[in-house]
Amino acid sequence: MIIKENVCNNITTINLWGTLDATTAPTLRNFKSAAAPADPVVINMSDVDFLDSSGLGALVGLTREKREQGGEVTLACMNNKVRKVFEITQVYRLFDIYDDVEAATINAEKKQTRL
């Protein structure tokens, strides 16, 4: 799992590459973003080729932590295999999910201006 982030206009985009499973989920759980606690985060999942329950748990945990700090997490660019995990487990209800990073970023900006 490779994690890289970009910050633009107080919106942090976290790009994930590789497999998000029991072996790599701790990398995401222990990731410390440069984003301010209340700033929104967009997670670009376009290069995540596999996701299991441990990876899903890491995403939920990251989101829970961010929300406790007053921020939000938006997901973008899931492939069909990854999206299926969200649908089967019904975890998609916890997230705003977009087909592209641009739409996710626009949503994050709108939510930020409402606060």
Instruction: List domains and CATH numbers for the chain.
Output: 2-105 (3.30.750.24)
Could you tell me if 37 and 10 are in contact, meaning their C-beta atoms sit under 8 angstroms apart? no
Report pLDDT for 55.
96
pLDDT at 115 over 60: no
Helix (H, G, I), strand (E, B) or coil at 37: coil
How many CB atoms are located within 10 Å of the residue 74 CB? 24
Could you tell me if 20 and 48 are in contact, meaning their C-beta atoms sit under 8 angstroms apart? yes
- Model pLDDT for residues 34-80, shown as the tens digit of each residue: 888 888 999 999 999 999 999 999 999 999 999 999 999 999 999 99
Q: How far apart are CA 13 and CA 42, in angstroms?
A: 5
Can you list the alpha helix ranges (DSSP code H) found in the chain? 25-29, 53-68, 80-89, 101-114
pLDDT at 114 over 70: no
Report pLDDT for 34.
80
Lowest-confidence pick of 22-26, 58-62, 106-110:
106-110
Report pLDDT for 112.
72
Q: What is the pTM of this model?
A: 0.92
